[in-house]
Structure 1
Amino acid sequence: MSLWNGAWYLAKRDLLDKSVFLCGIFYCGLIILFTFDYVSMNLFAVEQKNHSITIFQNMVVVLLFQNLGYRLDHKYFTKYYKTDVFTKRYSFLSTLPITIKQMILARYMQYTITLAVMYAVIFGITGIWGNIIHSGNLTAVQFIEFMLMWVGYTILFGSINILLELGFHGKIHYWFNIAVYFIFVAGCFCLSFISVWQVAIDLIVSYGYLIPCASLLLAGLVTWLVIKQLARRMQTRDLYI
């Protein structure tokens, strides 16, 4: 079986898991709810002193965009240290006639397809609302640039998660994510007077295509480094749970 055929076979099995898209639908719903322009712009213009709304919206944006395209399951949160589902799965796959390159490529295939669907839903709905039904602050071109900026942000953190998922034990993956969440939540409280969504819009209006280009370039660089690191680490990592 060729590299691409083997990778697609593995990715297709993951994509058939309902939890992949059910979790995605939940994420999309939350992001759409808290990033409609009447919430992120109009509401803040009226209630500028209501910092709690800004904090919550910022947390939804910065935390959920990190995890778009990334499957979450109840097993990840219940008895996590005993299950370590990622290591178990990799341990099983390592007994099959599957190469490391196929595993990495399959994981990125599944991630990319899931991410594309979620972004189509989120920015399809917010784009129709913000640019057709209710005129927003961005032109059509600026809106695409805005979306690509967030794509880069998501891929950057997605690649880091894939590195931790395939290259390290579950405890490291788990505590790394907990630490990241605490840091970002603390940042949201410190920046309670600033809307991250509005700041992102202002950056696009001010600098145009430079922002999405920088975001995608950084995400591409991180992804390349992650793939190189995984190709080495997966050959020697300990699969003992």
Structure 2
Amino acid sequence: MTLTFWGNVRRLLREELRRIGFGYLWQIVMMVYFAFFISLMARTMNSTEHSDYVLSNIMLDFMLMVSIGMMGFAFSRDYMKYWKNNRLSSKLKFYRSLPISTEEIVVSRLLTLIVTTIYSGIIYFASFYLISTEIRSAMQGWGYIGFALAWIGYSFTVGSFFIYVELGFKEKTYFWISCGAVPVFMAVPVILWLLDVHAVQSSIRIVKEYGVLLPAIALTVGVASLLIGKRIAVDKLNRRNMT
């Protein structure tokens, strides 16, 4: 990768961030809202009532998986009713008309995901910690930072998949795949419950018992997902018909 490569990536990254613009202000609102909503669920995650305990933990896992999985995608005009227009494809078509490679396009998009995830994650996890007394009593200091980093790694993994779909398919296909992901997000907490596991509770326990092990594994998987996602997204974009 040459200086020209990274120069083009930097220019594309600036353009992606410019297109988001005030969407980052809306992102603050959404992250604080999700943190507040999830904090309400966390109040009963240690309930002695079995039905309340099960339901609250399933819903807590579901909401964290969805909100954190999508935190790398800031609200922008590109995503406004994207299934009804060709705004995402038009942007890609314009990029491909420039003297830049598909790899530069994909890398800039993944860097946008990383920047947005870190930005959103700081707001999200800081708000969650400040609002939720249950989380503050369960974890403090470096333990909570490890918990947050573990979920950031998860966000990279999910985000890399959706970047691949965004770059590799047309808007309607992207929309239906996103819709299909919802029942998957709903099913995972239920399956974990059947296995007597809750994602949030378990991640808190593992971080408290094993320290940096969980965040290290999660971030490694997340970075590996980004690298693998880059390779297959470049191949898919090279073969994609933009007409």
State how far apart, in whole Å, the 1-side matches of 2:123 and 2:168 are: 31
2:42 touches 2:56 (CA, 8 Å); kept in 1? no
Q: Secondary structure at the match of 1:65?
A: helix
1:20 touches 1:70 (CA, 8 Å); kept in 2? no
Q: Secondary structure at the match of 2:139?
A: coil
State how far apart, in whole Å, the 1-side matches of 2:80 and 2:130 are: 36
Counterpart for residue 222 of structure 2: 219
In structure 2, the CA distance between the partners of 1:185 and 1:22, relative to structure 1 (3 Å rule), is farther
Residue 31 (structure 1) aligned with residue 37 (structure 2): no
In structure 2, the CA distance between the partners of 1:71 and 1:130, relative to structure 1 (3 Å rule), is closer
Alignment of 1:51-200 (within 5 A): 52-73=55-76, 76=79, 78=81, 80=83, 82-128=84-130, 135-188=136-189, 191=193, 196-200=199-203
Deviations 1:179-211 (A, max 9, x none): 111122234456499754223212222333221
Residue 129 (structure 1) shift: 5.5
2:61 touches 2:199 (CA, 8 Å); kept in 1? yes
Q: Which has the bigger relative contact order, CA under 8 A and spacing at least 6?
A: 1
What TM-score, normalized by structure 1, do the two folds share?
Answer: 0.82
In structure 2, the CA distance between the partners of 1:95 and 1:189, relative to structure 1 (3 Å rule), is same
* Residue identity in the other structure for 2:151: W
Single out whichever of 18-27 and 135-144 deviates more from structure 2. Answer: 18-27
State how far apart, in whole Å, the 2-side matches of 1:231 and 1:10 are: 16
State how far apart, in whole Å, the 1-side matches of 2:221 and 2:187 are: 24
State how far apart, in whole Å, the 1-side matches of 2:17 and 2:93 are: 20
Residue 74 (structure 1) shift: 7.0
Q: Secondary structure at the match of 1:136?
A: helix
Question: How much identity, in percent, do the aligned residues show?
Answer: 18
Query: Structure 2 unaligned runs (5+)?
Result: none
Residue 19 (structure 1) shift: 5.4
Residue 207 (structure 1) aligned with residue 210 (structure 2): yes
State how far apart, in whole Å, the 2-side matches of 1:181 and 1:135 are: 30
Q: Secondary structure at the match of 1:11?
A: helix
State how far apart, in whole Å, the 1-side matches of 2:157 and 2:4 are: 28
* Residue identity in the other structure for 2:155: T
1:35 touches 1:197 (CA, 8 Å); kept in 2? no
- Tell me which of 228, 233, 236 is aligned to 1:230: 233
CA RMSD of aligned residues (A): 3.0
* Residue identity in the other structure for 1:27: M
In structure 2, the CA distance between the partners of 1:42 and 1:166, relative to structure 1 (3 Å rule), is same
1:8 touches 1:109 (CA, 8 Å); kept in 2? no
Q: Secondary structure at the match of 1:2?
A: helix
Give the number of aligned pairs.
237
What TM-score, normalized by structure 2, do the two folds share?
Answer: 0.82
Q: Secondary structure at the match of 1:238?
A: coil
State how far apart, in whole Å, the 2-side matches of 1:210 and 1:55 are: 24
